[in-house]
Structure 1
Amino acid sequence: MAHSASIITQVTRDEEENATSREDGANEASPSKKPRSRGLLHSLFCCLCHKESEPPPPKNNAPLLVEENGTLSKVPAKPLLPRMKSNDAGKICVVIDLDETLVHSSFKPVNNADFIIPVEIDGTVHQVYVLKRPHVDEFLKRMGELFECVLFTASLSKYADPVSDLLDKWGAFRYRLFRESCVFHKGNYVKDMSRLGRDLNKVIIIDNSPASYVFHPDNAVPVASWFDDMSDTELLDLIPFFERLSKVEDVYEVLQQQRTSS
């Protein structure tokens, strides 16, 4: 079954402003197949489709469990990460998103794909074509030297794990977290930083989707969604900023200054 819809534009990210136009363009060739494609993709990749209308909780280190009805659970959560390794002691923990932040994936054959990943969906193996964002190699290598890096994606591990195996040649990611580690809140898979087991004043999340970090927007370094622009330099441009950020004791002041100046 040929799929013309992009994995990320159609189901993986919460692109309220531009996903609709991209989906329409991607599906022009086979509009009749769109419902089937969405059904398959929903079973594998994250679906962030609702805007968060309520203000996020105040930043703190208490684990946060949000139920489907939006209420906060009283049950404490086990930290998602083990204790920090000795060689990372004192480092900032940087949570890095995968889809549309580091790569773009599609079921549609792409001639210049960097990786082709076989993924089983409903008993059928499909080929996923993966493009690497420009300068992702330099970015990951340097980030792994400076920080305790954690991959955190709302996609399922059977797709994201093999992509990460091929993408991260330097072992930058100390840990990998997938959909089951997210909090499902009002239709969105949210990455709750308070559940990591790290001090929030030393945690940063890099993500293209604001819905992913709605609980902790003050910890975020937003990036533009990437699809196929091979002239993109955002990851390369971020390296000097993160080199400076790696030396601070508390990330909030620096990130606030960055938001004010941008």
Structure 2
Amino acid sequence: MAAAEFLSPETAGAGPVGQQQHPGQAAWRAVVGWLGFLLQILLQIVRGTPSSWAHLLSFLGLHHPLLSAAPPQPSTPSPSVAFVRLPSEAPADASSTGPPPPPPSLRRLTVVLDLDETLVCAYESSSLPAALRAEAVEAGLHSFDMECISAEKASCIFLDIKDAEGRQRVNRVTVFERPGLHEFLQRTSEFADLILFTAGLEGYAKPLVDRIDAHNRFCHRLYRPSTVTTEYREHVKDLSCLSKDFHRIVLVDNNPYSFLLQPLNGIPCLTFSAGQPVDDQLMGVIFPLLKHLSLQNDVRPALYETFHMPEWFQRHGIPQIDQAA
């Protein structure tokens, strides 16, 4: 209905200018105007949908329970509502809506640890400068003295020295522990099997390891006789004596030539000495890396991306060595 055709109660009762109407006639004209207006709405409702009845009753201040509760017709959805198509079938795996399944279980990581200048540094007590000892102790390094059979040191390895009568010499050694050593062993042993592999002699290394590993976290110990000699270096640590599967085994050593035969399994670390007491290699660098590797099916890709050890050996004149799968 056009706006010009709408008659308000005020204009419906107005006559020509200057013409006087009886009050009863004015009221009657207003009633007739309202009836005409409602008649036109009824005609539109008859041509429209049943929902228009609800609009009329609502306009008149009335409510009809059947009309107001009627659901909308699916064939004529409102264009302002976006409908999302639901799947016709339930998901094959009902648990997919819950948390993701845990990753497949992995066997424990094997962590092979060097001893000298990786976990500790040792000095023959009689030749240790007093100033160096004082500096290390003041910096907070934990140290202890011990007696061992083979205590003379050459190239960071204690040799088997005998006296003039052929008896093994007993010397006194001062050992400094690398910062974080005990926490490192304890926390790493929670997800890995720890193995000690040192080029030192057992007469020196065994009593030392007994001191730093009072809780027996090392499940196995290997000494110098377990190392091998190659055409490039001596005292190389061949991990094949421990496992033929190199997917889940690593060697931590400050001497990168130690893992010449398995360069993709090596973790080179900084050399530890009492002259550099401020150190966070164990807990700040090596432990987070081991924790990450413990979640890998194969440690070698991650270690290669981190260290590129095969290229390092090639730059030092050692050709690439084929490693078992």
1:240–1:197 distance in 2 versus 1, CA, 3 Å: closer
Cα deviation 1:35-87 (Å, max 9, x = unaligned): xxxxxxxxxxxxxxxxxxxxxxxxxxxxxxxxxxxxxxxxxxxxxxxxxxxxx
**Which of 137, 152, 155 lines up with 2:200 in the alignment?**
155
CA contact (8 A) 1:117 1:159 kept: no
**Which of 196, 200, 204 lines up with 2:246 in the alignment?**
200
Instruction: Write the distance in 2 (CA, Å) between the matches of 1:235 and 1:170.
Output: 18
Mapping of 1:84-233 within 5 angstroms?
A: 90-107=107-124, 108-109=127-128, 110=133, 112=137, 114-120=143-149, 121-122=161-162, 123=167, 124-186=169-231, 187-228=233-274, 229-233=276-280
**What is the match of residue 287 of structure 2?**
239
Which amino acid in the other structure matches residue 151 of structure 1?
Answer: L
**Post-superposition offset of 1:198:** 4.4
CA contact (8 A) 1:115 1:163 kept: no
Instruction: Write the distance in 2 (CA, Å) between the matches of 1:142 and 1:254.
Output: 21
Which amino acid in the other structure matches residue 92 of structure 1?
Answer: L
Which amino acid in the other structure matches residue 191 of structure 1?
Answer: K
**What is the match of residue 249 of structure 1?**
297
Instruction: Write the distance in 1 (CA, Å) between the matches of 2:307 and 2:257.
Output: 17
Instruction: Write the distance in 1 (CA, Å) between the matches of 2:236 and 2:179.
Output: 26
- Show structure 1 runs of 5+ residues with no match: 1-88
Instruction: Write the distance in 1 (CA, Å) between the matches of 2:243 and 2:304.
Output: 23
Instruction: Write the distance in 2 (CA, Å) between the matches of 1:171 and 1:164.
Output: 9
SS at match of 2:146: strand
Cα deviation 1:117-141 (Å, max 9, x = unaligned): 2122413321011111111111111
Instruction: Write the distance in 2 (CA, Å) between the matches of 1:106 and 1:190.
Output: 23
Cα deviation 1:207-238 (Å, max 9, x = unaligned): 00011111111101110111112211111112
SS at match of 1:211: helix
More deviation, 144-153/238-247: 238-247
SS at match of 1:185: coil
**Post-superposition offset of 1:152:** 0.1
Q: What CA RMSD, in Å, does the superposition of the two structures yield over aligned residues? A: 1.8
More deviation, 147-156/163-172: 163-172
Higher relative contact order (CA 8 A, sep 6+): 1
Instruction: Write the distance in 2 (CA, Å) between the matches of 1:99 and 1:233.
Output: 16
SS at match of 1:189: coil
More deviation, 116-125/198-207: 116-125
CA contact (8 A) 1:143 1:172 kept: no
- Show structure 2 runs of 5+ residues with no match: 1-105, 150-160, 309-325
CA contact (8 A) 1:150 1:175 kept: yes
Aligned residue pairs, count: 172
CA contact (8 A) 2:249 2:299 kept: yes
Instruction: Write the distance in 1 (CA, Å) between the matches of 2:193 and 2:183.
Output: 16
Instruction: Write the distance in 2 (CA, Å) between the matches of 1:198 and 1:236.
Output: 29
The percentage of aligned residue pairs carrying the same residue is 34
SS at match of 1:227: coil
CA contact (8 A) 2:148 2:207 kept: no
TM-score normalised according to structure 1 size: 0.62
CA contact (8 A) 1:183 1:189 kept: yes
Larger Rg: 2
SS at match of 2:292: helix
